[in-house]
A and B are shown apart, each in its own frame.
Chain A
Amino acid sequence: MGGGAILRYSLHRLAILLVVVFFLFPIFWIALMSLQTNESILRIPPSMVFTPIFDNYQALITGKLITQAGSLDLPFMKNLFNSFFLSAASVAVALILGVPAAYAFARFKFRLGENIAFTLLSFRFAPPLLVLLPLSLIYQTIGLDNSYVGLIWVYQLICLPLILWVVRSYFEDISPEIEHAYRIAGHNWGQSFLRIAIPLARPGIAAAGLLAFIFAWNNFVFALILASADKQPVTVGALAFVTASGIQYGQIAAAIILSILPTLLLALYAQRYLVEGLSLGAVKG
C-alpha cells in the first residue's frame, strides 16, 4: 500500500468517524445524563466528569420516584410493556392483513384496486388530530376507548398503509415467472404464495414491519386521547416526568435509554433480513 493509499484510507475512516460521532452524540449524551442527578446535569458549564449513580434506573424499574416534594408512583414499566404490546400486536395484525393484500394489489388487476390501495395510503397523510375527535366519540359510544383492541385498531392507520405499500413494491419486483414455474411444477396457488412469494419478499416484509413497529412505538396522539393511565405507552407516560418539583432530566434520560432498547434490538435482529439480496439472481437480466 503506497502513501497515497494510506492517506486515502485514513481520510475515509476519519469521515466515517465524524458521521458516527455526529449521529451518536445525542444518544451518548443521554446515556451520560441517565447516570447523573438532576443537579449535576444542570450545572454550568456541563462536564463529562461525575460519579455515576443508578438511582434513575432504580426509580424507573421500582416505579417509585423520590423527589424533594415526596414520593411519586411512576408506572414506567407498565408503560414500557404497553408500548411493546401495542406496537407488536399492531404490526402483527397489519402483517396478517397487509401482506396478502399487498400481494393481491401487486399481482392482480381488479375493479377499484388502485382506488382501494390509494385510499389506504391516504390514511397516512390525513392529520391524526382531524380524525381523533370523531374517533374518540365513536370509541366512547361503542366502548372501545381505553382498550388494547381499540388502540391496536387505530394503530392500523399507521402500520397497514406502510406495510401494504412497501411490501407491494417488493412483490412487484419478484418475477411472476418464478411463481408460474412453481405452480407448473404442481403446487397450488396457496403453496406458491407461502413458499415462493413470501420468502422472496422477506427483506421487504422485514423492513416494512420494522418501520411500522418504530412508527407505532413513537406514536403519541392516538394513545394520549384514546388511552388512560393503565393502557398508556411510554410516549404518553413520559409526561409524568414533568412533576411539581421540576422536570426530572435524569429519569427522562434513563427512560429514553430503556425505551430505545426494544426497537434497537429488533433492528439489529431484522438487519440480516434487510440486507439479504432480493431476487438472488433467479431470473436472468
Chain B
Amino acid sequence: MDYLSLNRISKSFGKEKLLDEVTLGVAQGENLVIFGPSGGGKTVLLRMIAGVETVTQGSIEVGGRDITFDPPEARGIGVALQNFALFPHMTAFDNIAAPLAARKKSQSEITDAVQKIAKLLKIAQVLHHFPKQLSNGQKQRTALARALVARPPLLLLDDPLRNVDAKLRFEMRLELPRLLREAGATVIYVTQDYREALALGDRIAILMGGKLLQIGTPRDIYEQPASIKVAQLFGDPTINIFDVTQAVRENGQDVHLTLGGGVIPLAGATAKAVRQAAHAGKKLWLGIRPEAIDFVWPGEGPGQGTGEGSGQGPGQGTNQIAHKNAVVIAAKLEAVNPLNERHVSFLTTQEGHDILCSRPADEGGDPNQLAEAAKGQVKLQFSPDKILVFGGDDGEIMAHHDDAAARDATGDATGGATRDAAMVTA
C-alpha cells in the first residue's frame, strides 16, 4: 500500500497542459526523486501535493486519505521551496518555529525543537538573524529546518540545492541522505541535476513534458532507460546514439548490427524485437555510454586471453569489459578533452557517426599518442552487454534487458562469431 498516491493527476492552464495524467505511488519512508529538465512539470506537481496549486483532474491520497481539495494548512506536509521563501520580517528562529507555532506547541517545546534542528543543520549561531542577514547557504538550511522541524510524515523538497554555490551543493549532497534518513519521512525530492537524482533517490521518476516517462531505481534508469530521451538525461558526456536503421544484418537465427566495421551481436528478446522492427521498417538507434567504451591499447586485443585475469594490461580491475567478447570498431580520433579525472575523446566512425569515449585519466595511455602511431585511426572496444537498442519514432527501448540466464545462454553462442568478426576488422 503506497503512502502517497497520485491518481491520474492533470494540470492545465487554459489550453496549455502542464501535467498529463501522472500516476505515481510512493511507499512509506521511501525517497523518491522527481527528475527532468526544467519546464517538465516537476515543480507544479510538487506544489499540487503541497496544496498551493489546484488540481485540474485526478486525486491525491496520503495515508489512504484523499487530500485533493484540502487547504495546504490541513495537509501537515513539510515543504522546502526552491527559492527558500523565508519570512523576511521574522528571525531565523521564528521562521523555523512557524510550523510548531501553528501546531500550538508550548514555548519550551518550540525552543527545544528549533535548537535541536538548528544544531543538526549547523545554523544554531544565526538563529537570531533576519533572512537578509543570512548567506544563501544559511537561508537554504533555515528553509530545510523549517520543513523538518515538525517531523512531518511527508517531506517535499523542491530543488533545495539549486540556489546555493557549488561547494555547499557538494557538501549538502553528501549530508542530505543522512538528514533525510534521520527525519524518517517519506520524501519527494525534485531536482534537475542527474547526480543528485542518482545519489539521493531510492527510486527516480522521470518527468518530461508533463508526462511520467519512467520510474525505477537509479541503477535501472541508468542502465535500462525507457527511451533515448531518458538515456540522454543521465551522464556527462551524454550517451552516444547512432542511427542503425540500415545496419541490421540477419544470418539465420543470428541478428546483429554493424558499426564502424565491427559487428554487434544481439541476443534474446532484443534480437527478436529488432528483427520485428527491421521487418516493419521502423527506425532503430543504438546507444552506448561513453564510459563503456575503451580504446584497444597496444599489446592487447580481443581474443588474446586478457579476460583470464592474468593481471596485466591496462584497464584491468576497473574495466568491466570482458575482452574476449568485446566488440571492436575502427574510428578516427578528432580531439581529446581532458576533464580532471577523466579524458573525453571525440571520434568519428567510417559511417560518419560521432562517438564520445570517456576514460579515467590514469588508465591506459594517451589517446593522442595512440592515434599518432596509427595515423589517426584507432580501435575502440566495448562489451555487447553495454549496448542499448531503441526503436520507433519516439526512440523507445526495444526490450528490457533480457534476464541474465538468457544472455548467458546466447553469449557463448554468439561469442565465437563476434570474435571472428572482430578479428577480421582488426
Interface residues of A, Cβ cutoff 8 Å to B: 175, 177-178, 180-189, 191, 196, 199-200, 277, 279-285
Contacts and interface: CB of A to CB of B under 8 A. Distances in A.
Contacts of B33: none
Interface stretch (B95-103, B294-302, B341-349): B95-103
Interface in B56-100: 71-73, 75-79, 81, 83-89, 98-99
B132 A185 contact: no
B139 interface: yes
A186 B87 contact: no
B365 to A, nearest CB: 47
A178 B102 contact: no
B250 to A, nearest CB: 58
B203 interface: no
List of 7 A-B pairs having minimum Cβ-Cβ separation, nearest first: A186-B102, A282-B88, A281-B132, A280-B88, A181-B85, A177-B85, A185-B99
B83 A188 contact: no
A177 B82 CA distance: 10
A187 B98 CA distance: 9
Contacts of B99: 185-186
A283 B81 CA distance: 10
Given A280-B89, A281-B88, A284-B139, A180 B131 contact: no
A251 B76 CA distance: 67
Given A185-B146, A200-B88, A177 B131 contact: no
B131 A281 contact: yes
B185 to A, nearest CB: 14
A280 B131 contact: yes
Given A280-B89, A280-B131, A282-B131, A184 B84 contact: no
A284 B72 contact: no
5 contacts: A177-B85, A181-B79, A184-B50, A200-B88, A282-B87
A199 B89 contact: yes
A178 B81 CA distance: 10
A187 B73 contact: yes
Nearest to A282: B88
A280 B50 CA distance: 25
B130 interface: yes
A282 B85 contact: yes
Contacts of A189: 71
B136 interface: yes
A260 to B, nearest CB: 33
Interface residues of B, number: 32
Given A177-B83, A178-B87, A285-B83, A184 B72 contact: yes
B131 A175 contact: no
B146 A180 contact: no
Contacts of B73: 183-188
A182 B71 CA distance: 12
B51 interface: yes
A180 B77 CA distance: 12
Interface of B: 47, 50-52, 71-73, 75-79, 81, 83-89, 98-99, 102-103, 130-132, 136, 139, 146, 150, 163
A105 B79 CA distance: 27
A277 B98 CA distance: 22
A34 to B, nearest CB: 43
A171 to B, nearest CB: 14
B136 A188 contact: no
Nearest to A280: B88
Contact of B98 (A177, A185, A199): A185
B52 A184 contact: yes
Contacts of B78: 184
A70 to B, nearest CB: 60
B132 A200 contact: no
A282 B84 CA distance: 8
A178 B132 contact: no
Contacts of B75: 184
A196 B132 CA distance: 16
Contacts of A277: 132
Contacts of B85: 175, 177-178, 180-181, 282-283
A283 B146 CA distance: 15
Contact of A283 (B47, B72, B84): B84
B93 to A, nearest CB: 14
A285 B162 CA distance: 13
A280 B134 CA distance: 11
Task: With a 10 A CB-CB cut-off, give which of A184, A187, A281 has the most chain B CB atoms.
Answer: A184
A181 B51 CA distance: 11
Given A187-B73, A283-B85, 17 more contacts: A178-B85, A178-B88, A180-B47, A180-B72, A183-B52, A183-B73, A184-B51, A185-B102, A185-B146, A186-B99, A186-B102, A200-B88, A281-B88, A281-B131, A282-B88, A283-B84, A284-B84
Nearest to B50: A184
Contacts of A183: 51-52, 71-73
Contacts of A182: 87, 98
Contacts of A283: 83-85
Nearest to A278: B88
Nearest to A285: B83
Contacts of A180: 47, 50, 52, 72, 81, 85
